[in-house]
Chains A and B, each alone.
Chain A
Amino acid sequence: MADTIPVVPAVRMRQIVKNFGSVEVLKSVDMDIVAGEVHALAGENGAGKSTLMKVLQGVHPITSGTIEIDGEPVDIRSTADAERAGIGMVFQEFSLIPTMTVAQNIFLNREPRGAGGLIDDGAAERAAKELFDELDVRIDPGARVEELGTAYWQLVEIAKALAKNARVLVMDEPTASLAKHEVENLFELIHTLKSRGIAIVYISHRMDEIRRVADRITVLRDGGVVLASPVAELTAAEIIEAIIGRRLASELVYRDRGLDPEAPVLLEAEEIASTSVLESVSLAIRAGEIVGLAGLMGSGRTEFARVVAGLDRPTRGTLSVEGRPVRFNGPLAAQAAGVALIPEDRREQGLVLEHSVSDNLTLPVLDRVKTGPLLSPRKLRELTGELVSRFAVKVADPYAPVNRLSGGNQQKVVVAKWVNTDPRILLMDEPTAGVDIGTKTEILDIVRDFASRGNAVLFISSELPELLAVADRIVVLREGRSFRDLVRADIKSEEQLQLIIQGEAA
Chain B
Amino acid sequence: MSSPATATRPSLVSRALAHLDWRSNIIYIAFVVVFVLFAIFLGNDGFLSPNNMLNIVRQTATISIMAVAMTFVIATAEIDLSVGSVAGLASVVTAMATAQFGLVPGILAGLLAGAVIGAVNGGLVALLKIPSFLVTLGMLGLAAGVSQWITASAPQPISDRLYVLIFGGGDFGPVPGLLVWTVVAVAVGWLVMNRTGYGRRVLATGGNPTAAAYTGINTARIKFTVLLTSGVAAALAGMLYAGRLESGRFQWGQGDELTVIAAVILGGTSLFGGRGAIIGTLFGSLFMGLVNNGLILAGLDVAQQQVVRGAIIIAAVALSRKK
A residues contacting B by CB (< 8 A) are 79-80, 91, 94-100, 104, 108-109, 111, 117-119, 125, 129, 138-144, 147-152
Q: Given the interface contacts A129-B9, A140-B5, does A80 sit within 8 Å of B204 by beta carbon?
A: no
Binds A, one of B58-66, B95-103, B213-221: B213-221
In the bound complex, how far is the Cα of B6 from the Cα of A149, in angstroms? 12
In the bound complex, how far is the Cα of B188 from the Cα of A118, in angstroms? 12
Q: Tell me the count of chain B residues lying within 8 A, CB to CB, of chain A.
A: 35
Inter-subunit contact B5/A138 (CB<8 Å): yes
**B201 contacts the other chain (CB 8 A):** yes
- Residue from A80, A119, A147, A151 in contact with B197 in the complex, judged by beta carbons closer than 8 Å: A119
B residues contacting A by CB (< 8 A) are 1-7, 9-10, 15, 19, 191, 194-197, 199-201, 203-204, 206-208, 210-212, 214-217, 270, 273-275
Q: Which residue of A lies closest to B276 (CB)?
A: A99
Inter-subunit contact B5/A143 (CB<8 Å): yes
Inter-subunit contact B203/A100 (CB<8 Å): yes
30 CB < 8 A contacts A-B: A80-B216, A91-B214, A94-B208, A95-B214, A96-B208, A96-B211, A97-B203, A97-B211, A99-B206, A99-B270, A100-B200, A100-B203, A104-B200, A108-B200, A108-B215, A109-B201, A109-B215, A109-B217, A118-B191, A118-B196, A119-B194, A119-B195, A119-B196, A139-B5, A140-B4, A140-B5, A142-B15, A143-B6, A144-B19, A148-B5
Inter-subunit contact B274/A97 (CB<8 Å): yes
In the bound complex, how far is the Cα of B243 from the Cα of A207, in angstroms? 75
Q: Which residue of B lies closest to A126 (CB)?
A: B9
Inter-subunit contact B207/A149 (CB<8 Å): no
In the bound complex, how far is the Cα of B1 from the Cα of A149, in angstroms? 6
Q: Given the interface contacts A140-B5, A142-B9, A148-B4, does A109 sit within 8 Å of B211 by beta carbon?
A: no
Please name all residues of chain B whose beta carbon is closer than 8 Å to the beta carbon of A138 when the two chains form the complex: 5-7
Inter-subunit contact A148/B3 (CB<8 Å): yes
Q: Given the interface contacts A95-B214, A96-B208, A97-B212, does A109 sit within 8 Å of B3 by beta carbon?
A: no
4 interchain residue pairs of minimum CB distance: A99-B274, A97-B207, A149-B3, A118-B195
Inter-subunit contact A94/B211 (CB<8 Å): yes
A100-B274, A108-B215 are known contacts; what are 20 more A-B pairs with Cβ within 8 Å?
Answer: A94-B208, A94-B214, A95-B211, A96-B211, A99-B206, A99-B274, A100-B203, A100-B207, A104-B200, A109-B217, A111-B197, A111-B200, A117-B196, A118-B195, A119-B200, A138-B5, A138-B7, A140-B6, A140-B9, A148-B5
Shortest A456–chain B CB gap in Å is 33
Please name all residues of chain B whose beta carbon is closer than 8 Å to the beta carbon of A119 when the two chains form the complex: 194-197, 199-200
Please name all residues of chain A whose beta carbon is closer than 8 Å to the beta carbon of B10 when the two chains form the complex: 140
Q: Which residue of B lies closest to A95 (CB)?
A: B211
Q: Which residue of B lies closest to A108 (CB)?
A: B215
Please name all residues of chain B whose beta carbon is closer than 8 Å to the beta carbon of A141 when the two chains form the complex: 9
Please name all residues of chain B whose beta carbon is closer than 8 Å to the beta carbon of A143 when the two chains form the complex: 4-6
Please name all residues of chain A whose beta carbon is closer than 8 Å to the beta carbon of B1 when the two chains form the complex: 149-150
- Residue from A108, A139, A151 in contact with B204 in the complex, judged by beta carbons closer than 8 Å: A108
Please name all residues of chain A whose beta carbon is closer than 8 Å to the beta carbon of B199 when the two chains form the complex: 119
